Amino acid sequence: MSKIKGLQIILCLSVAGVLVMSCSPEAAQDEPMQMPFKENTWVRKEEIKKTKSFMFSTGEKLALPIDDRLIKKLNTISTSNSSINSEEECLSQANALDKRRMVVQKRGGAWHVFERVAEAKIYSDYGMQIDSQLNRLVFSLKHICRGAKGMPLDAWGTNKVEELKKYGKEKMRKVYIDLGNPPADVDIWVAYAERALESRKRNIPYSEIGESILRTENLVNLYEDLSLRKVDEASLNTFYSDASTLLDVIKNSLKSDPRVALAIQEDNLLPIDDNGLGNEM
């Protein structure tokens, strides 16, 4: 019996030794790592031909087409219809466009048209851009109506212009920075005051702003039309083309119309937080 017990003890110690060795870091390093089968095979290796149907089925999207004939139509105006001769008339027509824009956006805007058509949801960003960029265009018209003879200034802007005239650019900048204002902000304020002072020399004919308003009216007309369309499978491609073309013309107007571009430049100089006030002199 003692011999049998001795053999059992030796056997147990041998098994325990093997188990310890197999669990040691050195033993683990000697064993090759076996990756799970799925981890080695889940990545697709073969090339995929990206057909149109594949792109739509996988959520990828193609750029929507643009209609050159519609571009020409949207940019065509009759200058004889432009009868604006004063700031009041200019603002009256710009505000009329703004009200029409707001009516469409209360219905959900162009974005909502894309969203309510299942096949068009993938292009909803086109609708969002149409809404936001048309806002920017109409606001620019209102700005330039007020600023045809010089940048329209509020109390803050008037104060900055007076400080620039009194102190000059460098001293004005130094004083504001010494008061603890961020130099980048101060540079914007000085540039704004310089632009405002320079703008007093300009004299944009209201008739020219009227041409910009007439072109924008064409865009608002199409914007209204798109927002009321009942889009189905048969009319979807036409809707895509018209919406894409509208966005293209709006974006181009923001850059190519000199009155609108001027308004945007000035708007970009407006402080956007706390009305740009910071620490005053």
The token pair that represents 182 in the structure block? 């961020």
This prediction has a pTM of: 0.73
Helix residue ranges, H only, the chain: 2-23, 25-30, 37-41, 52-57, 68-75, 87-106, 109-116, 124-146, 155-167, 169-178, 183-199, 206-228, 236-256, 258-268
User: Cα–Cα–Cα angle for 258, 261, 263, nearest 5°?
Assistant: 110
Q: How far apart are CA 278 and CA 281, in angstroms?
A: 10
Mean pLDDT by 10 residues, the chain (281 residues): 46 44 41 33 30 40 92 90 88 97 96 94 96 97 96 92 95 95 94 94 95 96 96 94 98 96 88 50 62
Q: How far apart are CA 137 and CA 248, in angstroms?
A: 13
**Which residues have C-beta within 8 Å of that of residue 271, sequence separation ≥ 6?**
156, 185, 188, 189, 192, 277
Q: What is the per-residue pLDDT for 31?
A: 39
Q: Where are the domains of the chain?
A: 65-149+202-276
Q: What is the per-residue pLDDT for 5?
A: 45
